[in-house]
Amino acid sequence: MNVAEATKIEDKVHDDSFRDRMVTIDEKGKRKWIYAQKPRGRFYNIRSYVSWVFFIIFFGLPFVQVQGRPLFLFNIPEAKFIIFGKVFWPQDFFIFGLTMITFIVFIILFTAAFGRLFCGWVCPQTIFMEMLFRKVEYLVEGDAASQKLLKKSPWTSKKIFKKLAKHVAFFLLSFVIANFFLSYIIGVKQLEKIISEPLAKHLGGFTSIALFSGVFYGVYAFFREQACTVVCPYGRLQSVLLDRNSMIVAYDYKRGERREKFKKKITAEIGDCIDCFQCVKVCPTGIDIRNGTQMECVGCTACIDACNKMMQAVNRPTGLIRYASENGIANGKKLRYTGRMKFYTVLLVLLTGLLTILLASRKDVDGTVIRAAGMLYQERGTDSVSNLYNIKIINKTIKDIPLILKLENAPGRIIEAEGRPIAVPKEGQGKGSFFIVLPNDLIKERKLKLEVGLYSGGKKITTLTTNFMGPIYRPGSK
């Protein structure tokens, strides 16, 4: 290959004009429907097995209960979250926030190293679209070519039947997914009630199911790959998360170019790409991976399978499209652990450590004690003074707790305003009022720091602190 030809290839490979418009939009701004061919090959088979594991987890998890409560619950309306059976309240927000930050750092690190491995292999959107809805579509309408023919054909009874069957199946699947999705928010027991009890009792629940079903149906029947290429924020972030050392699905242009239709006679100028477009035809986002890294690539590996099949057919080595880094393709460098990845790893280790400490020291029962607003102190006879307090307790356990309060760091008394222990229901909140009574001779300052111990069944649960206000009694004063 002479220099002029090599330059031409480089120019072609690095011609970025294709980035000026989306593959799924035509010149008139209309949607171009993607008819992706069914992939066949090793990666597709492994992804199918992974999807089965995903389905088992997604549809099975809501039924897993730990001590009578779900393993996971993300009840956003009531600000109640259960993660691995542990209840998190708004008061645990900082733990939740830190978990989110740790998760984001993990995503950044993972993406810097492995690109969009998550999108292609375990993202629910990709799995539901490619491994469920697309498979149903192939089953009802046939492969890509048959789907195109069906689209162009007149509205015969056969076409109406096929379209109706597909959309009914799509809606039913969306309805099932919506129910399970909702069970992650309200819990499977509440969902059972919505399903089994009269509609009038659960109007909100029914509306949510209908809304989610509609959204899922809209996404999988019509919006499809646009969820990844236009809406998904993770997809949009790829341009800043990836670098030239990240692992991506890449076309080896050094080996593939100059592409030319298959000829039995191979010359030195011809690359291994036989320009068969199989990699483009199977792509669910409609892109040509030979143009280079693109944000629309969800790393589904369909093009790897398609190209490997073609390479085997023409007796050339497989791996023309493969997992590699841009540097790997351009300079023959191996995937490596870069300085940026090391920095993220240190950050991740620190955050995980902090999170572990916070989780280990997290209290199952917590609360606040504050002096009743607008009240100073009350004199009790001639020898003591009292303050009135309000207490709010959160019980994150699954047992009701009757609480006894004890003064920990002063020889005073606590008198519950209602004359009985404060009851705190399981996974709920309790509140009450009480007096702290201190003898006059103990009050040496206007403001005293006191500790109130919370006891249940003779066992101390936690200690809360508060202030006591009183007059200063000096020896000789009344």
Binding site for ligand SF4 (CB under 6 A): 249, 251, 256, 273-279, 282-285, 287, 289-290, 297-303, 306-307, 310, 320-321
Question: Rounded to the nearest 10 degrees, how much is the dihedral formed by the CA atoms of 5, 7, 13, 14?
Answer: -160
In 317-373, which ranges are E strands? 321-324, 365-371
Q: How far is the CB of 227 from ligand SF4 (least distance, A)?
A: 13
- 389 near 370, Cβ under 8 Å? yes
What residue has token string 């061919």? 37
Q: Which is nearer to ligand SF4, 179 or 278 (CB)?
A: 278
Q: Can you tell me the distance from the alpha carbon of 58 to that of 189, in angstroms, rounded to the nearest whole number?
A: 16
Neighbours of 144 (CB within 10 A): 17
Closest CA to 215 of 159, 256, 174: 174
Kindly state the tokens that stand for 160: 């109406």
Q: How far is the CB of 120 from ligand SF4 (least distance, A)?
A: 6
Q: How far is the CB of 323 from ligand SF4 (least distance, A)?
A: 10
Q: Quote the Cα angle for 205-206-207, to 5°.
A: 90
Q: Which is nearer to ligand SF4, 202 or 322 (CB)?
A: 322
Q: Can you tell me the distance from the alpha carbon of 107 to that of 328, in angstroms, rounded to the nearest whole number?
A: 22
Q: Which is nearer to ligand SF4, 140 or 300 (CB)?
A: 300
Q: Which is nearer to ligand SF4, 95 or 289 (CB)?
A: 289
Q: Which is nearer to ligand SF4, 45 or 378 (CB)?
A: 45
- 215 near 226, Cβ under 8 Å? no
Q: Which is nearer to ligand SF4, 328 or 412 (CB)?
A: 328
Q: How far is the CB of 308 from ligand SF4 (least distance, A)?
A: 8
Q: How far is the CB of 269 from ligand SF4 (least distance, A)?
A: 16
Q: Which is nearer to ligand SF4, 103 or 277 (CB)?
A: 277
Q: Which is nearer to ligand SF4, 261 or 420 (CB)?
A: 261
Full 3-state SS string of 240-292: HHCCCCCCEEEECHHHHCCCCCCCCCCCCCCCCCCCCCHHHHCCCCCCCHHHC
- CA dist list (Å): 246 to 279, 319, 346, 402: 21, 17, 18, 56
- Number of alpha carbons in the 13 Å side-chain half-sphere of residue 359: 16
Closest CA to 131 of 202, 240, 184, 55: 55
What residue has token string 């356990």? 397
- 320 near 311, Cβ under 8 Å? yes
Kindly state the tokens that stand for 224: 């499809």
Q: Which is nearer to ligand SF4, 154 or 233 (CB)?
A: 233
Q: How far is the CB of 309 from ligand SF4 (least distance, A)?
A: 8
Q: Which is nearer to ligand SF4, 273 or 351 (CB)?
A: 273
Q: How far is the CB of 203 from ligand SF4 (least distance, A)?
A: 41
Q: How far is the CB of 284 from ligand SF4 (least distance, A)?
A: 6
387 DSSP assignment: E
- 350 near 446, Cβ under 8 Å? no
Q: Which is nearer to ligand SF4, 191 or 282 (CB)?
A: 282
- 293 near 228, Cβ under 8 Å? no
Burial of 183 (C-beta count, 10 Å sphere; 0-12/13-18/19+): buried
